[in-house]
Structure 1
Amino acid sequence: MLSFLYTSRGFGFTKKENSLVIEDPRSEARKRLLQYIFIGISILVVATLLVVVSFYKLVLYNAPSINVEQLPLDKKLLITIPKGASLNGISNVLQESGVIENATLFRLAARYLGAERSLKAGQYLLPAHGSNHQIIRILQNAVPQSVRVTIPEGRGLRSIIQLLSAKLPLDSAKFVNAVNDSLLCRELGFPDKSLFGYLMPNTYFIDPGTSESDIVRLMIAEYTNFFGDDLKKRAAELQLTPRQIMTIASIIEGETADDDERYLVSSVYHNRVRRGMMLQADPTIQFIIKDGPRRLYNKDLEIDSPYNTYKYAGLPPGPVNNPGKASILAALYPANSEYLYMVADGKGKHIFSKTMEEHLRARKQLDAIRKQLEKKKK
């Protein structure tokens, strides 16, 4: 049988058994188009399924809880979530740290779980590349890792802020305001206008989410626990207020780090106060200069300040640093001595004298020793 065939060159015939078939090339084009459409739809369906599965895994999948402590070191990260951070800020921190893969999907998961406002600031041990649900649960429920901060004796406010800021998301301006907050002073039972001088040196374990005022409260609580009724009674026996004791203690702290010598240093200042003499204490000058601590010059001793104990007799208005327990006890229990003068021996200690003549001789001897040492160096 012949079949009728249309080509670009015209119609033709093909041989078929018992029938005549006319082949239209347009039907072949439609078949190919349908095939392309089917392939396209299949690809779209597969892609959609992949997106849905990925979205479920990254956003909706409630992965089982994980014990981060038991993970190997290379599978966990210590991350700090800053205080006051928004969901955007938190997700960016987590992505940059390698905890999550995608900040946008983390935000979607947090919103899906209604956790936008319940993620806590602090320092956390988190699994590297954990699921969004796992991370969110930890940030909602885990107790933040406390940060260990050591505040040494005799530090000023600027130094304390630097030490805290190195470990915590601290707002230095808020911390200064808290220290100088008269309302907080009254709340904590202090008649003073500032809590400077009472920020007790110690090693503290602080949650990164702790407010600046609560950090101040923590340090003041350490002082209050130490300076109890028995020490207040001892201050009263000396006819001194706790603030005056802390002022003397801060001067002792600035003068010596030798525990055995603190009580002799204390006796010098107590004796001078009783006699109405100028204390002539270098730590008070270090307090008022802007670029201290450094070597002092004669011009520094001329600075007009109520804290300048080379110009004004008696105790300065308040502490010049934040003294530790050893210096506080030395201020409360000075050695029984008649010393009125002392001079640093260049080895971390002092030579003590009862009279000006003895003091001048001691200074002369030390000056001679220093000159000999300088000659040897040359």
Structure 2
Amino acid sequence: MEPKTPQNKIKKLQQLKSEKKTVRKIVLIIGAIIIAAALIIGVSLYFYISNALKPVDENNKKPVKVELAIGSNIDSIAQTLEDKGVIRNAKIFKYYTKFKNDAAFQAGTYKIPPSMSIDDIIKSLKTGKVYRKAEFQITIPEGLTLDQIGDVVAKKTDYTSQEFMKLVTSEKFVKEMKAKYPDTVTKAVDGKKIRYKLEGYLYPSTYDFYTKKPTLHDIADKFVELTDSIVRSYEPQLKELDMTPHELLTFASLLEREATAQTDRETIASVFYNRIEQGMPLQTDPTVLYALGKHKNRVLYKDLEVENAYNTYKNKGLPPGPIANAGRASTDATVDPAKTNYIYFVSDKKGQNHFAETLDEHNQNVAKYVRSKNDQ
């Protein structure tokens, strides 16, 4: 046993200090190892989960048929999706949906491409619809004629306007549309005086396309398909009005080309109905322009004399068919017009319409709004 001399005490303290320093180093090293391990595990886990949540194959847009039976739980649904090759990992999918509280899925048959994201798959299974990112869109504005729609298609695809018109005016395509959508595309389109049988039958809307180059046939078919869906939604009103789908689309097309403001459509519709009821010609300028086959800023008096079935100055009632493709607002106004006694209307230089019940009132409006406009 060493004597307790001052030197020994100092030596002892130095040893303790050295041991503490060593222990501290060991603790720091172990701590660093633990932190590094945690980081490695965390990063690895992050990349593992992130990879598991990615689409199986972003380039594979071919739909895979997936059937989910009634009463399926999240475990069986996740496993089915993995087995079908539309998700990467069933367990990760299950925990991800539970974390987002998105596990209330609908039974049914789905067509899901391996390129679809996890979030879009979840959205699809919750709503019963398939959500995919469109390759491109085609927007058809209201009021366009068939040839103008051809121009729009030509700008958004590799097809020409001429190719589009050749298809949609072909007897083969018209016959196919009549067979496919018999409630909407009826024999009424076969009228001898109709210029284009499917004029007015390509609904104005924004269309999503999920392949880079769909066939021209599929594009046109999609336009007609939406028209069929829209027209059939008006079946109760058509029955009440004793109006055919062809008459609905024809009448709505007149409003689409004539109205300058949303609020005017119902009132203009009432004018047309009042004129028809009284046996008066509709006398709407857009039908004259359609009869001429020209786009003009102003209709001249000599234009009103054109001998053509579409000229509503020369012929009473509706023209043989639509003169453009009408949107929802004009179609709504057709089946639900305003209740008025108006027989006439004229627009001023700002495009605002002025309505009248008598010819004297109308002549006053013309003198005030049209002649003064033309004199400027």
TM-score bracket relative to the smaller structure: 0.5 to 0.7
Question: Once the 2 structures are TM-superposed, how far is the Cα of residue 154 of structure 1 from its aligned partner?
Answer: 0.2
Contact (CA 8 Å) 2:348, 2:370: kept in 1 or not?
Answer: no
Greater Cα radius of gyration, structure 1 or 2: 1
Distance in 2 between residues matched to 1:148 and 1:182, nearest whole Å: 24
SS at match of 2:199: coil
SS at match of 1:209: coil
Q: 1:208 to 1:173 in 2, by over 3 A?
A: farther
Distance in 1 between residues matched to 2:150 and 2:198, nearest whole Å: 14
Map of 1:308-327 to 2, 5 A cutoff? 308-327=311-330
Distance in 1 between residues matched to 2:229 and 2:178, nearest whole Å: 17
2:278 aligned partner, one-letter code: R
Question: Once the 2 structures are TM-superposed, how far is the Cα of residue 173 of structure 1 from its aligned partner?
Answer: 3.6
Q: 1:144 to 1:172 in 2, by over 3 A?
A: farther
1:254 aligns with 2:257: yes
Question: Once the 2 structures are TM-superposed, how far is the Cα of residue 145 of structure 1 from its aligned partner?
Answer: 6.0
Map of 1:13-92 to 2, 5 A cutoff? none
Question: Once the 2 structures are TM-superposed, how far is the Cα of residue 371 of structure 1 from its aligned partner?
Answer: 5.9
Instruction: Give deviations 1:204-259, integer Å, cap 9, x for gaps.
Output: 12344212221111111212222224x12212222221111111111101111311
Question: Once the 2 structures are TM-superposed, how far is the Cα of residue 146 of structure 1 from its aligned partner?
Answer: 1.7
SS at match of 2:201: coil
Distance in 2 between residues matched to 1:185 and 1:221, nearest whole Å: 9
Question: Once the 2 structures are TM-superposed, how far is the Cα of residue 159 of structure 1 from its aligned partner?
Answer: 1.3
SS at match of 2:314: coil
Distance in 2 between residues matched to 1:145 and 1:332, nearest whole Å: 34
TM superposition score normalised by structure 2: 0.58
Instruction: Give deviations 1:318-370, integer Å, cap 9, x for gaps.
Output: 00000111101111111011111000122122100111111111111114542
Distance in 2 between residues matched to 1:361 and 1:178, nearest whole Å: 48
Distance in 2 between residues matched to 1:145 and 1:232, nearest whole Å: 31
Distance in 2 between residues matched to 1:200 and 1:169, nearest whole Å: 21
Distance in 2 between residues matched to 1:216 and 1:167, nearest whole Å: 13
SS at match of 2:156: coil
Q: Which runs of 5+ in 1 are unaligned?
A: 1-69, 71-142
Partner of 1:236: 239
SS at match of 1:166: helix
SS at match of 1:204: strand
Higher strand share: 1
Instruction: Give deviations 1:20-63, integer Å, cap 9, x for gaps.
Output: xxxxxxxxxxxxxxxxxxxxxxxxxxxxxxxxxxxxxxxxxxxx
Partner of 1:221: 225
Instruction: Give deviations 1:160-219, integer Å, cap 9, x for gaps.
Output: 111111110114344223323331232222112422202110111234421222111111
1:312 aligned partner, one-letter code: N
Distance in 1 between residues matched to 2:134 and 2:319, nearest whole Å: 41
Contact (CA 8 Å) 2:345, 2:356: kept in 1 or not?
Answer: yes
1:159 aligns with 2:158: no
Partner of 1:6: none
SS at match of 1:148: strand
Contact (CA 8 Å) 2:345, 2:354: kept in 1 or not?
Answer: yes
Partner of 1:184: 176
Partner of 2:266: 263
Partner of 1:299: 302
TM superposition score normalised by structure 1: 0.58
